Amino acid sequence: MTHAEIIQRTTEYVRHEFERDSSGHDWWHIYRVWKTALELCQHEPADTLTVELAALLHDLDDWKLAPSADGTPVRAAAWLRTLQLDPALSAHICEIITHLSYKGAGVENQITSLEGQIVQDADRLDAIGAIGIARAFAYGGHAGRPLYDPGTPPQLHQSFEQYKASRSATINHFYEKLLLLKDRMNTATAQKIAQERHAFMEQFLERFLSEWAGEIRGD
């Protein structure tokens, strides 16, 4: 199979799998991560087939969508087997997917390869800025979280178990993850893109909290 055929088949499969998602992990999230990752590849000497496949398959086994998942990318691996790729390539893609996800403010990032760093940056860029704000509240609604709970301060989670168990409000998620991402980008290009998106989230939060406090009354 050619590179183009592999990608075409994979996009068709993933598009079908994510068609009905309303948690912020829909096909368009996958599409944006794929395209952003390709954009980042323009500035880095990375293997594009690895980057594209990891980007396209990265959320198939996500713990937020499949709560029984144990962290091994079972569905991604099964799909890769159908493509009959070099086993080392498939293993690398699975390793990237295993370590991609954010696991708490105090948990060390285990992504090591350049290809993994690129896909992680692309996934994280889609979690910040205007789209990131929309996705945060979409996920919050999906998971039954309140928008905001002024009585419960954010927590910087020191383990994945703590992070996973948290049920706090979506506004807390900005302090527990989204505002921390700008300083955790791997590539220089993503760091640059993250600055503006970060500034926009700060403005949004300032406005949200001042409306909540009754400081903006529109007169």
Residue from 14, 76, 122, 136 that binds ligand ADP (CB under 6 A)? 136
DSSP state of 109: P
**Site map for ligand ADP, 105-134, x if CB under 6 A?**
------------------x---x----x--
Other residues' Cβ atoms within 10 Å of the Cβ of residue 107: 15
Site for ligand ADP in 159-178 (CB under 6 A): 170, 173, 178
Is 61 among the residues that bind Ni ion (CB under 5 A)? no
Q: Where are the beta strands (DSSP E) in the chain?
A: none
Helical pair 27-41 and 3-18, crossing angle rounded to 10 deg? 150
Nearer to ligand ADP, 85 or 127 (CB): 127
Distance CA 163, CA 176 (A): 9
Task: Specify the residue for token string 């708490």.
Answer: 104
Q: Which does 173 bind (CB under 5 to 8 A by kind): Ni ion, ligand ADP, none?
A: ligand ADP
Residue from 115, 121, 123, 176 that binds Ni ion (CB under 5 A)? 123
Site for ligand ADP in 8-67 (CB under 6 A): 24-25, 59, 62, 64
- Indicate the residue whose CB is closest to ligand ADP: 101
Residue from 36, 60, 140, 201 that binds ligand ADP (CB under 6 A)? 140
Distance CA 113, CA 190 (A): 16
The answer to whether 110 and 170 have CB atoms below 8 angstroms apart is: no
Is 121 among the residues that bind Ni ion (CB under 5 A)? no
Distance CA 101, CA 132 (A): 15
Q: Residue 218 — φ and ψ, nearest 5°?
A: 75, 20
Q: How many residues bind ligand ADP (CB under 6 A)?
A: 17
Radius of gyration of the chain (CA): 18
Residue 217: CB minimum distance to ligand ADP, A: 29
The answer to whether 32 and 133 have CB atoms below 8 angstroms apart is: no
Which has the closest alpha carbon to 120: 140, 105, 148, 98?
98
Site for Ni ion in 20-59 (CB under 5 A): 59
The footprint of Ni ion (CB under 5 A) covers: 59, 123
Site residues, ligand ADP (CB under 6 A):
24-25, 59, 62, 64, 101-102, 123, 127, 132, 135-136, 139-140, 170, 173, 178
